[in-house]
Amino acid sequence: MFYFIPSWYNQSRPWYHNTQLWFRILERMTFDDTVNQLKMFHQAEEEVRLLVLNYQPQFRYYLHKQGLLQTPYWSFFDDIQNISALHVRPFSFKDLNWPDGVQFLYSPFAVLVRLEGVDLATIHFAQDGNLFYIEFVEAGRLTKHYLFDDRGFLSSILYFDAEGREVYQDYLNESGMWQVREHLQPQEAGQIEVNPYADHSFQEHYYADWPSLIRERLEVLAQAEVGDQDTLVVASHAQHNDLILEVFPQQQKVFSFFGDRLALEETPSNRALLEQASLVVVDREKQEETLRPLLAAAGRSSKALLRIPPYDTRLRLGHSQMLRDQKIYCYMDGLSQEELQDTLKVLLAFMAQQGDVSLALVTFDRMRNFNELETWITEEIYRHYDPDDFFQVAEEGNENQLEEDQVLELSRIHFELLTNETEIIKALDSARLVLDLGAEPDLYTQIASISAGLPQINRVETDFVSHQKNGWILSPDADLASALQFYLAGLANWNKSLVYTVQKMADYTSGRILEQWQELLNEEA
């Protein structure tokens, strides 16, 4: 069994949930190593289980959004609250015990509860429209929050003092009886208090903090369920690394270093981690270079370090060869303004010669100003090229307008903000060539491009692109136009790249990635 420990934590209250109100959710490109690793293990039909250490009353909806609803899990808060329900169950706020005569006033964002002109509560909802929490007020003062579980019951109550400060939070069982109380103001006895009549037996009545109680309950789990032959896959995070090392000394442990989640420096905590880790997984060469000397200092072989993407390839070849239009998918986020403009000058010159080439300028950054970029491109076209080659009359214009009043728009250049993996895959489906000239090419784009069978042009060498086989690596004095010509002037080189890419795809399937994990874990066993 593989036990996965994610790092889905709240920054302000470390062991609290991070669910957002539905209208505050901003779709943006995010990747999570645990989510993608779980998908790969599911694909390979490995037995897995999640260990969730923080409070997650809307957890089933999160799993559903990630395509992981069928993943079994153990939740620390379910354990201490004695919750056994597994499935989402609808729950209506109207089923609560409201006073007779209350009105429910609906706004675009929430539901206001009012009695005889006096506000009693505000009802808030999560992303999927399910009940999230209710704010109760008395005499205009906030008194408490009811937080609801997506399985259809009241999960906890957060209480406020006369100044509106959070005082304590009661975590309830399914019958509404408080099991554990978290004191949110300084408390001599301890921040965590256990109800003497709680459903479970605990070793203490007060605990200094959450990690003290988490350690106790994890030890119970370790004794009851986790065998010495099981493996823990840990999203490396300062919040739980030491805890996992203490509670699970016998099990093999894989620590995943993803992005910039944990500072890679010589600390006692990191040294202990590297001494005990069976395998350290990184997703970038920079992390690998930083960790090698740290591993050596911890007396470990570099064999315990594996650089591999947290995404797998899945054959979903694009359909660009069936289209007359040759679309260049150009990822902009790794480029400075000057670098982007230099790249666009080459692309515009190439497009002026190749009438069947179009350009998708892609970003994952919501703050990207497309208007400024479009203005610069427009000026560049009018300065150097025939505008008729790049513009068309906007379709929304009135067909009876005078010619001088017609609105023009770019016909072969499009701007695309992509916010999730599905949108990337869709954009690549019609692309003929991927262009990513940043100092560190986007990892997911590289893997998705391999899955789509697309050649890639990069400025730096990576494991995923071989020069003139499934892409082009630009040397410092290389000519981008030559690379474009190589793959877009005809289909011969493009077809060779497709064949090579399909062969390369085998290196990054979920099965192959897991084989590499298993080989290294077996060596360490």
Per-domain residue ranges of the chain: 2-86+213-307, 93-207, 320-508
Q: Is the pLDDT of residue 124 over 90?
A: yes
Residue 361 CA to residue 344 CA, distance in Å, equals 10
What confidence category does residue 520 fall into, taking pLDDT thresholds of 50, 70 and 90?
Answer: confident
pLDDT at 23: 66
pTM of the model: 0.84
460 Cβ contact partners less than 8 Å away, ≥ 6 residues apart: 439, 440, 441, 473
Percent of the chain with pLDDT over 90: 68
Q: Which of the four CATH numbers 3.40.50.620, 3.30.70.1250, 3.40.50.2000, 3.40.50.880 does domain 320-508 have? A: 3.40.50.2000
Q: Is the pLDDT of residue 458 over 60?
A: yes
Q: Is the pLDDT of residue 327 over 90?
A: yes
CATH T-level topology, domain 2-86+213-307: Rossmann fold (3.40.50)
Q: Is the pLDDT of residue 356 over 90?
A: yes
Q: Is the pLDDT of residue 397 over 70?
A: no
Q: Give the start-end residues of each E strand in 116-230.
A: 118-125, 131-138, 141-149, 153-160, 166-172, 178-183, 192-194, 206-207
At residue 183, what are phi and psi to the nearest 5 degrees?
Answer: -85, 125
Residue type (1 letter), 170: D
With CA atoms as reference, report the closest residue to 390 among 400, 381, 399. 381
Q: Identify how many contiguous H helices and E strands the chain contains and give both numbers.
A: 14, 25
Cβ contact 229:254 at 8 Å: no
Mean of pLDDT over the chain:
91
Mean pLDDT, residues 470-486 taken together = 90
Cβ contact 183:192 at 8 Å: yes
pLDDT at 275: 94
Evaluate whether 2-86+213-307 and 320-508 have a shared fold.
yes
Q: 510-524 and 33-43 helices cross at what angle (nearest 10)?
A: 100
